[in-house]
Amino acid sequence: MPAQTLYDKIWNAHVVSAQQNGLDLIYVDRHLVHEVSSPQAFDGLRAAGRVVRRPDCTLATVDHNVPCVNFILHQLIERPPRLGGKAAIKDPESRAQCAALEKNVKEFGLSYFGLEDKRQGIVHVIGPEQGFTLPGTTLVCGDSHTSTHGAFGALAFGIGTSEVEHVLATQTILQKKSKNMRINIEGALPPGVTPKDIILHIIGRISASGGNGCVIEYAGSVVRALSMEARMSVCNMSIEAGARAGMIAPDEGEDWDKAEAYWRTLHSDVDAKFDVEVEIEVADIAPCVTWGTSPQDVVPITGTVPDPAGFSNLDRRRAAERALEYMGLVPGTSMTDIKVDNVFIGSCTNGRIEDLRAAADVVRAAGVEAKVAPGVRAMVVPGSSRVKRQAEAEGLDAVFRRAGFEWREAGCSMCVGMNEDQLAAGKRCASTSNRNFEGRQGAGGRTHLMSPAMAAAAAMRGTLADVRQFQQKSSQPTIGLDSAPPVQQPAAIPLDSVADVIIPTAGIQPAVKEEASLADLPNKVFRVLKGIAAPMYIENMDTDMIIPKQFLKTIVRTGLACGLFYNFRNDVNTGQPARDFILDQPPYDKAVIIVSTGKNFGCGSSREHAAWSLDDFGIRCVIAPSFGEIFRNNCFQNCMLPIELSVEECRELARDAEAGIELVVDLEREEITRAGRETAPIRFKNGLVQARVFIGWVRRYWCDDARWRGYRYF
């Protein structure tokens, strides 16, 4: 057996069948479900008369839309008010989305941590908390930050809603295997430098597209010494590095005796080959903050706002100029001179107990009299109800409250602003979340990413601040390392209805005996596509830009063209159409193709709404130098072809698109030509694979493996 990486081992142990088009059908051990990415999936099941194949391996919760304010009465959908619950969900769309999940979990018989459940919380906090996440398993969720669970040596990745439906129905998923990337992190961690700083530093170093096409394994002495919370923060942001997933080999486990033999094999073999290896020396890292609108826009807190003119890459420079304008920043400004209006401590990156302790340490170090700086609104939102209770048991809430922080209920809150916790236009927020995208925390809001300790320091000072100045005053241990004092955990809450350790692929029974049907192939599938292409020049065009969060509250897939590139096409303040965006100008208002010269198109959130809105507008093909992996899969699911070409080729096509020349994408010939021009055709890179996957994908209505009939449909 050739040497294998950790990723290879888990992947190989879960292959149900290798497909001819370069995809593997993978068995899914665990499936987490939340209210935003699931309603359309359940509707699909209902329409097809299907059941959930493994309700015992599926766990659902509400997190994105839940109010984080604590009112006395809770009155979600026709329920008698109860004491001690959360505020009623006032926004009708948010309420409908949560209500849809409540209905679906009942109908399909799933384990559900609802609003009033003591175990409710952000999906990526509760999975590990409840022992649902285990080493060596495959775990998926309709959410990009599923990468978090890789901290346990699981292969965990985000998927789109159509894929959620496929997993619900079959407990399998069709995926292309990624490349292996290893990031070795060595050295002595300087004071004030936390896991968040390490991952921000890494993204700054390898870029937001640096992990494209890869699964990252984090290794090295620094990683081995990290606590589980810290590992989760690092793996969480693998998606911000453009990777499919992040993983860390497990080294300890509470259920050790149960699964020891298997878990012990979960490491990369000594001579395993990685496609990409990166070395990180942590000794030189300082606490980090972001200045722009991509997680790669990282500087040390001692640094200044960079000058876009310093970027030699044209798309990068354009993105930086746009970012600075959006962020209201001037090159050369010291980061510590930047005033903040809001502070948000929470999210699936940094909403765990250790994060709250780290932030509270800084608040304590500022002195008992110290208060949040005047004019700053600071809130702490625990990642789960259990984290909240633990923090209260340790008295952390009192530390925060005394200093003037708001102490909130568990949920996603201002990480995404789907509840009422939104950052107002023009306001600046020091945030422990993972995305500083335009409009991420609220339309027009400006986000700086940082560690919980740094966010607490910013709250106390009223500007971005160097946490080391606070820490010198205190003798608190460095956060995120296993050396932190042991803390008493509250009694474990049993998760009765969730199955025990699952041995991958064992005991698979042949599924339903239905036959593949080629009859109703969607008519959107094309073999030749001719039409107007709209050029776009932004690097890291994230799916928050393609469709902002206010359009994610729908429970259907249709009618989303109105949300497409919403913040580009409308005035953020008035909501009036701006009419100056490319897709609003003839002939591009009839575009069927997008040509992006910028890398990493569709990065970030897994929201299939991005593909649905492009589809609704009439786009059938997107051409770019690289794609966010989940977006790429979502395109296929919606019969929209993503084509990867070199940056130069994309630029060439963008020039033609700019001139209004129609492009012809021919799948059979695997080439792109310019209508009515003699210019040499551009061949698809990996043309065969691309075209075959596209045609094959939609033709393969059923996964026709003898052992396993996976079901897929549109």
Ligand X SMILES: CC(C)[C@@](O)(CC(=O)O)C(=O)O
Residues that bind ligand SF4 (CB under 6 A): 63-64, 122, 124, 143, 145, 347-348, 412, 415-416, 433-434
State the binding partner of 442 from ligand SF4, ligand X, none, CB within 5 to 8 A by kind.
none
Looking at beta carbons only, is 95 or 677 nearer to ligand X? 95
Work out the burial of residue 242: count CB atoms within 10 Å of its CB; fewer than 13 is exposed, 13-18 middle, 19 or more buried: buried
- The string of DSSP codes covering 664-678 is EEETTTTEEEETT--
Select 227 or 638, whichever has its Cβ closest to ligand X: 638
Cβ(272)–Cβ(237) below 8 Å: no
User: Distance between CA atoms of 177 and 183, rounded to whole angstroms?
Assistant: 19
- CB closer to ligand X, 145 vs 149: 145
Residue 549 interacts with which of ligand X, ligand SF4, none, CB < 5 to 8 Å by class:
ligand X
From ligand SF4, ligand X, none, interface partner of 122 (C-beta below 5 to 8 A by class): ligand SF4
Asked if 549 touches ligand X (CB under 6 A), the answer is: yes
Does residue 124 touch ligand X according to CB under 6 A?
Answer: no
Tell me the C-alpha distance between 612 and 617, whole Å: 9
Shortest gap between Cβ of 552 and ligand X (angstroms)? Answer: 6
**Quick check: 163 binds ligand X (CB under 6 A)?**
no
Calculate the CA 22 to chain-centre distance.
Answer: 25
Is residue 143 a contact point for ligand X (CB under 6 A)?
yes
Cβ proximity to ligand SF4: between 348 and 572 the closer is 348
CA distance 58 to 337: 47
Shortest Cβ 548–ligand SF4 spacing (Å): 13
231 binds, among ligand SF4, ligand X, none (CB under 5 to 8 A by kind): none
Q: 124 or 599, CB closer to ligand X?
A: 124
Backbone angles phi, psi at 75, to 5 degrees: -140, 50
CA neighbor of 162 nearest in space, from 12, 65, 47: 47
Q: Which residues of 264-279 are buried (b: 16+ CB within 10 A; e: fewer)?
A: eebbbeeebebeeebe
Total number of residues that touch ligand X (CB under 6 A): 13
Supply φ then ψ for residue 481, to 5 degrees: -105, 155
Q: For residues 407 and 588, which CB has a smaller minimum distance to ligand SF4 in the complex?
A: 407
Distances (CA, A) of 610 to 9, 96, 561, 607: 33, 21, 10, 6
Name which of 386 and 607 has its Cβ closer to ligand X.
Answer: 607
Q: What is the dihedral sign for C-alpha 526, 530, 531, 535?
A: positive
Return the number of the residue (26 or 414) whose C-beta is nearest ligand SF4.
Answer: 414
Taking CB within 5 to 8 Å according to partner kind, which of ligand X, ligand SF4, none is near residue 606?
Answer: ligand X
Give 36 or 450: the residue with its C-beta nearer to ligand X.
36
Q: For 186-198, what is the HEC assignment?
A: ECCCCCCCCHHHH
Q: Which stretch binds ligand X (CB under 6 A): 50-58, 162-170, 599-607, 667-675?
A: 599-607
- Strand spans (E) along 104-223: 111-113, 138-141, 155-158, 172-176, 179-186, 214-219
Among candidates 90, 99, 39, which has minimal Cα distance to 67? 90
Among the listed ranges 129-137, 141-149, 306-314, 441-449, the one in contact with ligand X (CB under 6 A) is: 141-149
Nearer to ligand SF4, 172 or 347 (CB): 347
Q: Which does 347 bind (CB under 5 to 8 A by kind): ligand X, ligand SF4, none?
A: ligand SF4
Please tell me the distance from the alpha carbon of residue 689 to that of residue 683, in angstroms, as a whole number: 12
**Per rule CB under 6 A, is residue 64 in the interface with ligand X?**
yes
The item of ligand X, ligand SF4, none sharing an interface with residue 86, based on CB under 5 to 8 Å by kind, is none
Q: Cβ 533 to ligand X, closest distance in Å?
A: 28
SS3 112: strand
Q: Does 144 bind ligand X (CB under 6 A)?
A: yes
What tokens does 315 get?
Answer: 């798309």
Terminal CA-CA length for the chain: 39
User: In angstroms, rounded to a whole number, what is the distance separating the alpha carbons of residues 456 and 448?
Assistant: 13
Q: Which listed option, ligand X, ligand SF4, none, makes contact with residue 227 (CB within 5 to 8 Å by class)?
A: none
Reduce the DSSP state of residue 565 to 3 states and report it: coil
431 binds ligand X (CB under 6 A): no
User: Which residue of 148, 296, 567, 606 would you call a contact of ligand X, by CB under 6 A?
Assistant: 606
The only residue of 476, 605, 673, 690 in contact with ligand X, by rule CB under 6 A: 605
| Minimum CB distance to ligand X smaller for 547 or for 592 | 547
Task: Output the smallest distance, CB 257 to ligand SF4, in A.
Answer: 33
Contact (CB, 8 A) for 421 and 553: no
Do the beta carbons of residue 11 and residue 74 sit within 8 Å?
A: no
Pairing between strand 342-345 and 682-683? unpaired
* Smallest separation (angstroms) from ligand SF4 to the CB of 190: 28
Using CB under 6 A as the binding rule, whether residue 607 contacts ligand X is answered as: yes
Judged by beta carbon distances under 5 to 8 A according to partner kind, the member of ligand X, ligand SF4, none in contact with residue 37 is ligand X
**Range list of β-strands (E), 87-178:** 111-113, 138-141, 155-158, 172-176
Cβ proximity to ligand SF4, 64 vs 709, nearer residue: 64
Neighbours of 415 (CB within 10 A): 29
Q: What CA–CA distance (Å, rounded) separates 465 from 337?
A: 8
- 416 contributes a contact to ligand X by CB under 6 A: yes
The correct pick among 36, 110, 125, 546 for binding ligand X (CB under 6 A) is 36
419 binds, among ligand X, ligand SF4, none (CB under 5 to 8 A by kind): none
Smallest gap from residue 686 Cβ to ligand X (A): 26
Q: Which is nearer to ligand X, 409 or 649 (CB)?
A: 409
Q: For ligand X, give the closer residue by CB, 64 or 700.
A: 64
Cα separation of 667 and 644, whole Å? 13
| Cα radius of gyration (the chain) | 24
379, 651, 684 from 669: Cα distances, Å? 57, 22, 9
By the rule CB under 6 A, 294 interacts with ligand X: no
Q: How far is the CB of 554 from ligand SF4 (least distance, A)?
A: 17
- 567 is a site residue for ligand X (CB under 6 A): no
**Which member of 55, 121, 153, 158 binds ligand X (CB under 6 A)?**
158
Least distance in angstroms from the C-beta of 40 to ligand X = 13
**Within a 10 A sphere around the Cβ of 326, how many other Cβ atoms?**
19
158 binds, among ligand SF4, ligand X, none (CB under 5 to 8 A by kind): ligand X
Q: How far is the CB of 133 from ligand SF4 (least distance, A)?
A: 15
For residue 559, give the amino acid letter: G
Q: Quick one: 28 or 672, whose CB is closer to ligand X? A: 28
Residues in the site for ligand X, rule: CB under 6 A? 36-37, 64, 143-145, 158, 416, 549, 552, 605-607
